[in-house]
Amino acid sequence: MDQVKYVHIDGRPVPIEGEKNLLDLIRKTGIEIPTFCYVSELSVYGACRMCMVEIEGRGLQTSCSTPPEEGLKVRTNTESVRQIRKVALELILANHERECTTCVKSTSCKLQDLSKKLGVDKVRFRSIQKPVPLDDGNPSIVRNPNKCILCGDCVRMCEEVQGIGAIDFAYRGHDVVVQPAFGKSLDDVQCVYCGQCTRVCPTGALTPKSEIDVVCKALQDPKKTVVVQIAPAVRVALGESFGYQAGELTTGQIVAALKMMGFRKVFDTCFSADLTILEEGNEFIKRLSSDLPLPMFTSCCPSWVKYVEQHHPDLIPHLSTCRSPQQMFGSMAKNVFAPELGIKKEDMVVVSIMPCTAKKFEAKRPEFVTDGAVDVDHVITTQELAQMINEHGIQFRGLKPESLDMPMGFKTGAGVIFGNTGGVMEATLRYVYEKVEKKTLENPDFHEVRGEAGIREAEVQLAGKTYKLAVIHSLANAKAIMAKIKSGEKKYHFIEFMACPAGCINGAGQPVSFDPGYRRNRTKGLYEADKMLQLHKSQDNPYLKELYAATLGEVGGVKAHHLLHTHYKARRRMKGKSMVIVDSKADDKLEVRVCVGTSCYLRGSQDLLHHLARHVADKGLQGQVQVKATFCFEKCDKGPTIKIGDKKISHCNMAQATAALDQAIEARLAGV
Amino acid sequence: MPTVMLRKFEKVCAIIEKYGNDPAKLIPILQEVQHEYRYLPEEVMIFVATTLGMSPAKVFGVASFYAHFALQPKGKHVVRLCDGTACHVKGSDGILQALYKKLGVDAQKATTPDMLFTVETVACLGACGIAPVMVINDVVYSQVTPERAVALVEEIAMQEGAGHVSA
Ligand code: SF4
Ligand code: SF4
Ligand code: FES
Ligand code: FES
């Protein structure tokens, strides 16, 4: 056996137990080292200089990037350490927009917290920063570059954990900024609105976008009936904002608080999660026995869906057509429940409380307008709910729990575990098993799909056949698995995808937590909530049975499809100008555009472009025809795509392209 | 000239191919691409990024980090003035100000609206013995004075038929 090695920290020997850096080792001893650019789930960056310690013989060193070695003598609190940390912090503060009182991040801001803890009571340096405008044109995230301290946590989160790379450092020296490509806004680049960057940003530079004001306005409007749904993950995290432990269930208090604020009906997204399971489970069974594409991908995570639309448009048919529980709820509330209440759906306002920033984006997708009304009007995050409770002066801790309203407040445990990675898969299996095997599932737990690993595989036996399953969280893992599916290396029947690490319980809308165990505790909280309920399988939900009998008809039937399903489409990653290849200044020029976006490029659009440009040049048509290379017509699954004048041609080949061009030119010559 | 742009685009494709579509070769790729366009147009950087399977934000990050990548189109004639220690001591700043005034440009907006001139400063051209040094389109001028610098620029403007410069 290896001998235990020790590092001396402030005079005491501390054993090295697999820690990768001094920082983790020191923290183990109960000494808190300040950091901005160290996030344990990301790579080490070593730029903020906050984690400095003094090492005998080596002087001041950043503890986050120093591996522990036998015999090191480390001091964490010498006078030089104290000074250098303070100066580093002062320099950061000098260029930071210090509008703390009006900052949404106030009290959960690391910069504020450390300034207080390190006793910084003045800033001796002058700012060299010029104020720049906010980037808040998207539904989910507000970027305030004036508050950025350049720690790069967001950059590494987006790149390493999410595999997206929507934001990065740009320029150098004192011009350095963190921004989307070319300084564009987030809605013009490939951001999927997962918000994980806001979760790690230590300041108010990246924050979820608030909808509190519109919700409060609706609550004050006497003509409106405001109903609300609570997502599963909210109930195990909201309490953290009021001193409860992560994972402690506060559903009853949440209901009470919402009622006090004036919400007419308080319902549960777990109800519509049960509904999703019936529809999605049914779709899966149908796919198994037809030629519809497999594996089927879950579609309840809007960041994942946007990612597929942008980066894997050819696999869109694999996405389940089911709307997410949030959207199914909205559709049911407005189209079934409003008439039951005797009110017009225009007078109903549906609010969701979600752990997620991407749900704000999802609610605004044009697909989710059913028969003229948006399904979900406003989405607020768990953080925003806590804020609203405070604004209303409600003493959350003293609240007497109240019950959810019926019918859409009734759920089974299957709907509750939706908030955990593996939860959607497990809930689906509980349904599919009974449906296919035609017998009762005695123990509803499928432990084989639970766990923490970002890529998990399992198998299930149904009617004597083996089916391969996978559960994926975080989009970098999704990216890896998609590559293997495309290459044929991996084959599955059903895959659950969630963009956030550990699933919705760790969504970017949840309260900010610095407690290392919070994820595990929230996860546990949801599994325990399932245990505490009477029913555990969506198909046993009595109100669902009623709903199908009275209104929806058959599971997967025509009515259900109209109200509960949707279709997704290819989506451009980036907005930008086209490249002019052959120019024409003529006012009435014929525009020829060839897509060189990734999907089309891989299908040979470059050759098409060369060919067409040459064709124009050879025929001496430069004056009349303009040829451009553009990025994405959102027809990526049918690429290569070109556009001649107003005519879009998909699956285009050389002969077709030439013929279409000649035809268009002839038509113009003929004066048509 | 339309065929010029086609040739440039084909060249970009050839450059990327030459480097085996390897994201690790981004810097040399951008260098050669810049050689074609004389700067790095946004749409071309997006094309390079997509073709290499990289995020455009990363490509822009690299392009904006290195001073020798130009993100804005440059004028037809590039005037580079040395601002190294020797030239600075010998009064290069006066020359720079004279050029700025003459052409109506500054450090942020370095190119004239008619795209004829770009004025840049460089850190030491390694010709300190003949300071102050100015380079116009690769031709080196030594011991330049503000008057001479302005006269040189005027001469080019005349040849280009851009009389307005002598305003
Ligand atoms: S929201 Fe997600 S995808 Fe968008 S920038 Fe942040 S981490 Fe990247
Ligand atoms: S936006 Fe936030 S996380 Fe990103 S670099 Fe700036 S301070 Fe750090
Ligand atoms: S935490 Fe070590 S340098 Fe930032
Ligand atoms: S890449 Fe989207 S249409 Fe070509």
pLDDT for A293-325, tens place per residue? 999 999 999 999 999 999 999 999 999 999 999
User: What pLDDT was estimated at residue A31?
Assistant: 94
- Measured CA to CA in angstroms, residue A304 lies from A379, A475, A622 at distances of 18, 7, 44
Catalytic residues of A: 280, 283, 300, 320, 359, 362, 367, 504
Q: Name the burial class of residue A289, with classes exposed (0-12), middle (13-18) and buried (19+) by CB atoms within 10 angstroms of its CB.
A: exposed
- HSE-up (13 A, CA, CB side) for residue B110: 19
Report the predicted TM-score, pTM, of the whole model to 2 decimal places: 0.91
* 8 Å CB contact between A218 and A224: yes
Is the pLDDT at B1 greater than 50? The verdict is no
Q: What residues of chain A lie within 8 A of the CB of B49, using their CB?
A: 181
User: What pLDDT was estimated at residue A475?
Assistant: 98
Task: Characterize the bridge pairing of strands A12-15 and A52-55.
Answer: unpaired
Lowest mean pLDDT among A236-250, A399-413, A502-516, A594-608: A594-608
Q: Cβ neighbours of residue A77 under 8 Å, at least 6 residues apart? A: A10
Which residue bears the tokens 């290849």?
A581
**CA of A660 to nearest chain B CA: how many angstroms apart?**
20
* 8 Å CB contact between A336 and A551: yes
- A179 contacts chain B (CB < 8 A): yes
B6: nearest CB among A172, A581, A601: A581
- In short, whether A508's Cβ falls inside 6 Å of ligand 1 is no
User: What pLDDT was estimated at residue A599?
Assistant: 87
Are residues A168 and B64, on separate chains, in Cβ contact within 8 Å?
Answer: no
- In short, whether A152's Cβ falls inside 6 Å of ligand 2 is yes
The yes or no reply on domain A579-669 and CATH 3.40.30.10 is yes
A170: nearest CB among B2, B64, B67: B64
- State pLDDT tens for residues A264-303: 999 999 999 999 999 999 999 999 999 999 999 999 999 9
* 8 Å CB contact between A406 and A261: no
In whole angstroms, what is the distance from residue A514 CA to residue B39 CA?
45
In whole angstroms, what is the distance from residue B95 CA to residue A671 CA?
58
Are residues B57 and A617, on separate chains, in Cβ contact within 8 Å?
Answer: no
Average confidence score pLDDT of chain A: 94
Domains contained in chain B, CATH given: 3-65 (1.10.10.1590), 77-159 (3.40.30.10)
Instruction: Specify the CATH number of the domain A6-77.
Output: 3.10.20.740
Q: Which amino acid is at B15?
A: I
Q: Which residue among A39, A153, A193, A571 is best mutated to probe the pocket of ligand 1, counting the most ligand atoms within 8 A of its Cβ? A: A193
- In short, whether A639's Cβ falls inside 6 Å of ligand 4 is yes
Lowest mean pLDDT among A59-63, B65-69, B123-127: B123-127
Following DSSP, what letter does each residue of A87-146 receive, concatenated? HHHHHHHHTS---GGG-TTTTS-HHHHHHHHTT-----S---PPP---B--SSSEEE-GG
Distance of CA A437 from the midpoint of ligand 2 (Å) = 52
The residues spanned by each domain of chain A are 6-77, 91-208, 212-564, 579-669
- A574 contacts chain B (CB < 8 A): yes
Mean per-residue pLDDT, A378-384: 98
The yes or no reply on domain A212-564 and CATH 3.40.50.1780 is yes
Following DSSP, what letter does each residue of A178-228 receive, concatenated? EEEGGG--GGGTT-----HHHHH-SSTTEEEPP-HHHHHHHHH-TT-EEEE
Q: By C-alpha distance, which of A616, A606, A614 is closest to A579? A: A606
User: What pLDDT was estimated at residue A601?
Assistant: 86
Lowest mean pLDDT among A66-80, A110-124, A472-486: A110-124
Distance of CA A306 from the midpoint of ligand 1 (Å) = 12
Please report which ligand is nearest the Cα atom of A638.
4
* pLDDT bracket for residue A668 (50, 70, 90): confident
Distance of CA B94 from the midpoint of ligand 3 (Å) = 44
- Tokens for B49, please give them: 């990024």
- In short, whether A150's Cβ falls inside 6 Å of ligand 2 is yes
Distance of CA B28 from the midpoint of ligand 4 (Å) = 27
Please report which ligand is nearest the Cα atom of A141.
1
User: What pLDDT was estimated at residue B167?
Assistant: 42
Q: What is the DSSP letter of A6?
A: E
CATH class of A91-208: alpha beta
* 8 Å CB contact between A502 and A355: no
- If you average pLDDT over each of A368-372, A470-474, B109-113, B154-158, which comes out highest? A470-474
* pLDDT bracket for residue A1 (50, 70, 90): low
* 8 Å CB contact between A4 and A16: yes
Mean per-residue pLDDT, A481-496: 96
- State pLDDT tens for residues A529-586: 999 999 999 999 999 999 999 999 999 999 999 999 999 999 988 888 888 888 888 8
User: What pLDDT was estimated at residue B142?
Assistant: 87
User: What pLDDT was estimated at residue B59?
Assistant: 97
Are residues B55 and A180, on separate chains, in Cβ contact within 8 Å?
Answer: no
In whole angstroms, what is the distance from residue A233 CA to residue A249 CA?
10
**Interchain CB contacts (distance < 8 Å): A and B:** 98
User: What pLDDT was estimated at residue A672?
Assistant: 55
Q: Note which residues in 69-128 of chain B have CB less than 8 A from chain A.
A: none
Please report which ligand is nearest the Cα atom of A572.
4
Q: How many CB atoms lie within 10 A of CB A611?
A: 16
Asked if the domains at A212-564 and A579-669 fall in one CATH topology, the answer is: no
Mean per-residue pLDDT, B107-130: 84
In whole angstroms, what is the distance from residue A663 CA to residue B19 CA?
38
- Measured CA to CA in angstroms, residue A32 lies from A10, A28, A402 at distances of 13, 9, 40
**CA of A181 to nearest chain B CA: how many angstroms apart?**
4
Q: Note which residues in 576-595 of chain A have CB less than 8 A from chain B.
A: 576-584
Nearest-by-CA chain B residue for A179: B57
Task: Characterize the bridge pairing of strands A225-230 and A265-268.
Answer: parallel
A407: preceding bond cis by omega (within 30 degrees): yes
Are residues A617 and B3, on separate chains, in Cβ contact within 8 Å?
Answer: yes
Strand order in the sheet with B134-136: B117-122, B77-82, B134-136, B139-141
Are residues B56 and A181, on separate chains, in Cβ contact within 8 Å?
Answer: yes
Nearest-by-CA chain B residue for A608: B10
Q: By C-alpha distance, which of A371, A370, A357 is closest to A329? A: A370
- Measured CA to CA in angstroms, residue A136 lies from A157, A167, A207 at distances of 20, 15, 10
A181: nearest CB among B53, B57, B65: B57
Coil vs helix vs strand at B135: strand
Is the pLDDT at B166 greater than 50? The verdict is no
User: What pLDDT was estimated at residue A127?
Assistant: 79
Average confidence score pLDDT of chain B: 87
- In short, whether A205's Cβ falls inside 6 Å of ligand 2 is yes
- A598 contacts chain B (CB < 8 A): yes
Are residues A583 and B58, on separate chains, in Cβ contact within 8 Å?
Answer: no
- In short, whether A458's Cβ falls inside 6 Å of ligand 2 is no
Mean per-residue pLDDT, B35-63: 93
* 8 Å CB contact between A307 and A568: no
Residue having the nearest C-alpha atom to atom 1 of ligand 4: A597
* 8 Å CB contact between A76 and A10: yes
* 8 Å CB contact between A319 and A568: yes
Which residue bears the tokens 């001041």?
A60
Ligand 3 atom nearest the C-alpha of A65 is 2
User: What pLDDT was estimated at residue A648?
Assistant: 92
Are residues A576 and B46, on separate chains, in Cβ contact within 8 Å?
Answer: yes
User: What pLDDT was estimated at residue A63?
Assistant: 96
- In short, whether A50's Cβ falls inside 6 Å of ligand 3 is yes
User: What pLDDT was estimated at residue A2?
Assistant: 66
Q: Note which residues in 404-423 of chain A have CB less than 8 A from chain B.
A: none
Give kind and range of the element (H or E) at residue A73.
Answer: strand A73-75
Strand order in the sheet with A296-297: A296-297, A494-498, A465-473, A455-462
Is the pLDDT at A506 greater than 70? The verdict is yes
